[in-house]
Each structure stands twice: as C-alpha cells, then as structure tokens.
Amino acid sequence: MLHPDDDDGETLTNHLRRMGFKVQAFWPIPEQLPADTDLIFYALQSDNPEPDVSWFAPNKHALIAVIAYENPTFIDQALKMGADTTITTPLRASGLLSAMVFALHHAQQQRQMSERIERLEKKVLGVRQVGEAKAILMRMHSIGEEQAYEILRHQAMDKRITVEEISCALIQANDIFSWTTPGAANNRKN
C-alpha cells in the first residue's frame, strides 16, 4: 500500500487486515516494491498532478488508485498511471473486496493480452523471415516456393530447430556473404 500515514491509510490497512490480507504500507514510495506484491493501493495526491509511476510494472501488479474526490482530474490521473480501478475516500469496507477482485482480474487479463500480443508479433516476424528465406533460396537455386519451404523444413528438422530459426540463420548468412569487397565497390562507382 502506497499511502500517507493518515486516517485514510490507517482505515484502509485495518479493513484489509480484517479481511485477512497481508498488508505492507509505504510512504514515500520505496525504490523497489517487495517481490511478493500482487496488488497496490496508491493514494493520488491533489498536490502532485503528475505522479512518478516509474516503479509500477503493469504486467506484474494490479493497481487501485485511492482518490479523494471523484472528479475528472483524479480519474484522468488514475487512467494515465494505468490503474485497474479506483476507490474513493472516506474509505469503507463495503465495495473494497469487489474493487480488489476486479483490479486483479483486469490486471491478469492485461498480462494475458500482452503475452498473446508478444507471441503474435514473434509469429508475424517469423512468417516474414520464412518468406524472406524462401525468396533467397528461390533466387539462389531457381526453385519454386514449395521447394524452398521444403528445404527450410528439412534443414530445421535435421538441426532440431524451428523453421523460423533456420530462416533467420539463412537470412543472416545471406547478409554476411552478399557483401562486396571494398575494391569491388569502388570499381562499380567508377
């Protein structure tokens, strides 16, 4: 919990402990959060319109912004910092558990989507590399696309690596061996 040591902070700590949660309170914000942190309550302060959230790892933690007023400024701040939900002061036990469950669920969905996007981006890159590697083989050996893919697949199976990895190796080798000697490059310019 990242909250000043005030009545609201104490109330929140007490509610969470009564619900059976392990609570650690910090203020000011530490350089590093404890490794076992799953959920962060962060008090947005009216005197700090642009809070430093460099400590926040959205793919690692769920974040609940604790706001004093439900106004556009605080809501905008919460959105900009990546809060999964908000709770308002004065704090009450009612609605706290729901906010926590929704924040944790939202954060988990965000993590899953980020991981999926990363996998898809790698897949798209792999498809491009396979296409480029096939083009290299087709140009070098005057063969068709299917034959080029079969060569890549066979080489990948022999080396027990993916077609994408063998394609990347072929592209790198082609880049290395397709350069010209400095003298040849100068002769072409003349």
* Residue ranges making up the domain that contains 139: 120-178
Residue 99 falls inside a structural domain: no
- Rounded Cα gap, residues 79 and 150, in angstroms: 50
- Rounded Cα gap, residues 130 and 48, in angstroms: 50
Sheet holding 62-67, edge to edge: 39-43, 62-67, 85-88
Same domain, 65 and 14: yes
42, 2 contact by CB (below 8 A)? yes
Same domain, 84 and 23: yes
Instruction: Please report, for the domain that includes residue 163, its CATH number.
Output: 1.10.10.10
Residue 33 falls inside a structural domain: yes
Same domain, 82 and 138: no
Instruction: Please report, for the domain that includes residue 25, its CATH number.
Output: 3.40.50.2300
Burial class (CB in 10 A: 0-12, 13-18, 19+), 11: middle
pLDDT by residue, tens only, the chain of 190 residues: 888 888 888 889 889 999 999 888 888 787 788 888 889 898 887 776 666 777 777 678 899 999 887 888 888 888 888 889 999 888 888 889 999 999 999 999 999 999 999 999 999 999 999 999 999 999 999 999 999 999 999 999 999 999 999 999 999 999 988 765 555 444 444 4
Final residue in a domain of this structure, among 46, 79, 94: 94
Residue 44 falls inside a structural domain: yes
- Rounded Cα gap, residues 170 and 133, in angstroms: 6
Q: Please tell me whether the overall predicted TM-score, pTM, comes out greater than 0.85 for this model.
A: no
Where are the strands (E) in 68-117, listed by range? 85-88
- Rounded Cα gap, residues 57 and 49, in angstroms: 20
Give the number of domains in the chain. Answer: 2
Residue 70 falls inside a structural domain: yes
Same domain, 77 and 124: no
Same domain, 11 and 89: yes
Same domain, 88 and 129: no
- Rounded Cα gap, residues 25 and 74, in angstroms: 22
Structure token pair of residue 99: 């906010």
